[in-house]
Amino acid sequence: MTKMLIGRRALLGGMTLGASGLLLPGCDRLNASPGVRSLLAGAEQLHYRSQRRVAGSNALAREYARSDMSPVFRVNGNASPVSPAYLDDARRNFIDWRLIVDGLVARPLALSLSDLGSLPQRAQITRHDCVEGWSAIGKWQGPQLGPILRAAGMSSRANFIVFHCADTSGGIPYYESIDLNDAFHPQTILALLMNDHRLSIPHGAPLRLRVERQLGYKHAKFVMRMEARERLEDLYLGKGGYWEDRADYAWYAGI
C-alpha cells in the first residue's frame, strides 16, 4: 500500500486532469454497459430502461424550497454502527477518519473530512422516499461524487461504484452500489451536512450518499469506502446491496 493512498493535493491535481474529460466514459456507454445489463434481469431491467428513457440520464430530481423542509426527518435502519473503530472515530469527531476510494482506480485516495469539505460543494433540498412508505424533505450538502472519481483516475473498466458502510445487521455489513450514470449525475453527492449541520450519527455521520432519483435504502449512511468495480456478482450475495441480497429489493430503485 505504500504511496497508494494520496490526499488532497493529488485530488485537486487530479480534478484538473479529470476536467479534460479524458477519464469520463461517454453517456451511451453509461446506459448500456454490459455489467449493468447482466446485473438486471427481467422486469427490473424493463423498469430501469424505461425510467432511463423517460427521465433521461441527466434529468434532475425535484428540488424544494426551504419552507418545504420537514420539521422532523425520521431516522431509519441502523442509527449507529457498533464497531469499536467507528465509535472511536466518532469520539474524536472523525478527525482521523478517512474515506477510502479504491478498486478500479489509477490513484487510490484517502480523504479527510476537511479534504472533502474543501472541494466545491453542492446543496440541494430534496424528498427522501423510503420503501416502507414515509417521506421527508431535507437539505443535503457535500461534494459531488463524479469529480472525486475522476481525480482517482477511475478505469474505463469500472461499471459500478460500491459504498461500504461501517454498520452491520446480524453481523452482515451494509453496502450499496450505483451505476456510472448515477455516479456522475449532478445531484449525486457525498453529504457532509444535513439541514445546515454536520451529519448526526443517526443520519449517517460522517458521510452519506445522496442519490436523489432512487429510494431511501440506496442512500448509504456511514460510508467508509468507495470501490469502483467491473461487476457485482462476486461481492457478498451478488445483488449489489444489503437489502437487494437479503430481501430481494430492486437494485435499481428509481422513483
Contacts with ligand MTE by CB under 6 A lie at 73-78, 130, 165, 167, 174, 202-204, 216-217, 219-222
Q: Does 12 bind Mo ion (CB under 5 A)?
A: no
Q: Does 136 bind Mo ion (CB under 5 A)?
A: no
Instruction: Report, in Å, the least distance between residue 200 CB and ligand MTE.
Output: 9
Select the residue whose beta carbon is closest to ligand MTE and give its number.
Answer: 77
Which range in 9-17, 98-106, 197-205, 217-225 contacts Mo ion by CB under 5 A? 217-225
**C-alpha cell at position 184:** 456522475
Instruction: Report, in Å, the least distance between residue 173 CB and ligand MTE.
Output: 9
Chosen from Mo ion, ligand MTE, none, partner binding at 185 (C-beta under 5 to 8 Å by type): none
Chosen from Mo ion, ligand MTE, none, partner binding at 37 (C-beta under 5 to 8 Å by type): none
Instruction: Give the one residue of 138, 216, 240, 241 binding Mo ion; rule: CB under 5 A.
Output: 216
Q: Which residues pair with 166 in a beta bridge?
A: none
Instruction: Report, in Å, the least distance between residue 70 CB and ligand MTE.
Output: 10
Q: The sheet that has 193-194: what strands, in order across it?
A: 121-129, 135-143, 193-194, 197-198
Chosen from Mo ion, ligand MTE, none, partner binding at 203 (C-beta under 5 to 8 Å by type): ligand MTE
Q: Does 242 bind Mo ion (CB under 5 A)?
A: no
CB contact set of 136 (below 8 Å; sequence gap of 6+): 70, 72, 73, 74, 127, 128
Instruction: Report, in Å, the least distance between residue 1 CB and ligand MTE.
Output: 25
**What is the distance between the alpha carbons of residues 103 and 252, in angstroms, rounded to a whole number?**
22
Q: Which is nearer to ligand MTE, 25 or 254 (CB)?
A: 254
Instruction: Report, in Å, the least distance between residue 172 CB and ligand MTE.
Output: 11
Instruction: Report, in Å, the least distance between residue 186 CB and ligand MTE.
Output: 21
Return the ∠ at Cα 184 (arms to 242 and 162), rounded to 5°.
25
Chosen from Mo ion, ligand MTE, none, partner binding at 94 (C-beta under 5 to 8 Å by type): none
Smallest Cα–Cα separation from 204: which of 245, 252, 163, 149? 163
- Amino acid (1-letter code) at residue 99: L
Give the interface with Mo ion as residue ranges (CB under 5 A): 130, 216-217
